[in-house]
Structure 1
Amino acid sequence: MDDERRLHEWERRGSVPLSIASLVFLVTYAVRVLAPDLPPDWSDLLFTITVVTWGIFVVDYLVRVAVAPHRWSYVRRRWLDLVVVILPLLRPLRLLQLYGKIQNRHKQPRLSLEARVMAYAGLSALLLGFAASLQVYADEHDAPGGQIRTYGESVWWLCSTITTTGYGDLVPVTARGRVIAVGVMFLGVVLIGAVVGSFSAWLTQSFRRADERQGAGGPPEG
């Protein structure tokens, strides 16, 4: 019980710092990709900050595993945390924890379940999409035979891929770019399904409540 309490306390206290570290990582990485001609001193500083933020995630994960009452069970249950440590592109997902803490400051969430699902899905798409567009641009803009030469083209490719439109006018040619493209495709299918399903559930619930009020003799919703 003491170990569980310590683990819970560590996770509670580390939620905001890790979210800030995620934001710092995303900003420094974006600057390094979009402004490659920075003076060497600034470039080294940004690289150091990126490495330090990664180190923060590593230390946090190791501490949580060490404090957990059943370590291997904790690793299996929280496998996504390990993936976030290994794959930098997923690190911005930590910002969702900060959003969740803001939403849950009161005893009751400020948004309905359907609205929270849509909000989380939208934020996930925005954060992961931004990170993916940066990485694809970094890999593709100077690759032999590459088609994505500017960051604007990378954003266009991302939008057409994550929405499952798939125009095919711009495609990645590097191995890592194609791996990211596969991830973006799956992300798009999952997020669009979550948003459409939640929106449909919200509409159904709203119509059901309106029908119940009318059946009870109450005024219909305006």
Structure 2
Amino acid sequence: MDDRSRLDRWDRRTDLPLGVASLVFLGSYAVHVLDPELPSAVHAILLSLTYATWAMFAVDYAVRWRLSHEGPGFVRRHWLDTVVLLLPLLRPVRVVRTYEAMLRRHGEPRMGLHARVAAYSALSIALLGFAGSLAVYQAERSAPDATIRTFGDSLWWTCETLTTVGYGDFVPVTAMGRIIAVGLMACGLALLGTVTGSFSSFLLQRFSLGAEERRPPEK
């Protein structure tokens, strides 16, 4: 069995467990951030779950690197996996990859390509926005001059940032909050650009088909 087959088998076996791990990570982190009044033992369990899922992704990354036999080039060729490993904020987006893999196992998805791109991009934006809101809220709520004091404020700020509106009513003041803001800006531009490009391509195809249907047949 060649290395490519082994890597494909590993991906098929780990897609679902890592997708579940992404949801566990998001759920445990959300409860840890949103309910600080819980007993310390409960917070310890939540943090243990968070770090355990992180360890799962680290093991998956190491195994895929070894099976690829690409050496340091693996980091460059699989840069998205590297970013997801280093930035917990992006880990819930793994659910989208798991969903796509499950659809492929059960045959061709019923939705067209453009609809799937738009749907997966919307799901990615929702997961990224929720995780980003949690991270910013945790970083900002205790800062002396913070304007983001509640989770509702954080959600509103995240919507402004992802859509590149930026009213300026809420602004992160901590270094971690601003780092998260830069990441959300970049991801928001990329994901919204994907949706816009897919929709534009869909319209061009529809107009092209309409023009061909109205064209008189050649003699």
Mapped partners of 2:72, 2:182: distance in 1: 30
User: Corresponding residue for 2:140?
Assistant: 140
User: Corresponding residue for 2:32?
Assistant: 32
- Structure 1 residues 67 and 125, CA gap change in structure 2 (3 angstroms): same
Contact 1:162/1:188, CA 8 A, preserved across alignment: yes
Mapped partners of 2:69, 2:187: distance in 1: 33
State the aligned residue count: 217
State the SS of the aligned residue for 1:56.
Answer: helix
Contact 1:104/1:110, CA 8 A, preserved across alignment: no
User: Corresponding residue for 1:88?
Assistant: 88
How far the C-alpha of 1:138 sits from its partner, in A, is 0.4
State the SS of the aligned residue for 2:127.
Answer: helix
Which structure 2 residues correspond to residues 93-172 of structure 1 after superposition, within 5 A? 93-172=93-172
Greater shift, 27-36 or 68-77, is seen at 68-77
Unpaired stretches in structure 1, ≥5 consecutive residues: 218-222
User: Corresponding residue for 1:205?
Assistant: 205
Greater shift, 202-211 or 48-57, is seen at 202-211
User: Corresponding residue for 1:23?
Assistant: 23
Greater shift, 26-35 or 83-92, is seen at 83-92
| Alignment-mate amino acid for residue 197 of structure 2 | G
User: Corresponding residue for 1:42?
Assistant: 42
Mapped partners of 2:8, 2:93: distance in 1: 20
Contact 1:24/1:53, CA 8 A, preserved across alignment: yes
User: Corresponding residue for 1:220?
Assistant: none
How far the C-alpha of 1:133 sits from its partner, in A, is 0.5
| Alignment-mate amino acid for residue 174 of structure 1 | T
| Alignment-mate amino acid for residue 67 of structure 1 | L
State the SS of the aligned residue for 2:161.
Answer: helix
Which structure 2 residues correspond to residues 49-88 of structure 1 after superposition, within 5 A? 49-88=49-88
Unpaired stretches in structure 2, ≥5 consecutive residues: none
How far the C-alpha of 1:134 sits from its partner, in A, is 0.3
Mapped partners of 2:186, 2:85: distance in 1: 20
How far the C-alpha of 1:106 sits from its partner, in A, is 4.4
| Alignment-mate amino acid for residue 68 of structure 1 | S
Mapped partners of 1:159, 1:92: distance in 2: 17
Q: Deviations over 1:14-70 (max 9, x none)?
A: 111011101100000001000111112211111111111111111111122222233
Greater shift, 148-157 or 55-64, is seen at 55-64
User: Corresponding residue for 1:175?
Assistant: 175
Mapped partners of 2:64, 2:55: distance in 1: 14
- Structure 1 residues 39 and 216, CA gap change in structure 2 (3 angstroms): farther
State the SS of the aligned residue for 2:172.
Answer: coil
How far the C-alpha of 1:98 sits from its partner, in A, is 1.4
- Structure 1 residues 83 and 190, CA gap change in structure 2 (3 angstroms): closer
Mapped partners of 1:188, 1:47: distance in 2: 28
RMSD between superposed Cα atoms in Å: 1.7
State the SS of the aligned residue for 2:193.
Answer: helix
Give the TM-score normalised by the residue count of structure 2. Answer: 0.92
Q: Deviations over 1:140-193 (max 9, x none)?
A: 111110000000000010111111111001000000101111121222222222
Mapped partners of 1:103, 1:206: distance in 2: 26
Give the TM-score normalised by the residue count of structure 1. Answer: 0.91
Contact 1:118/1:198, CA 8 A, preserved across alignment: yes
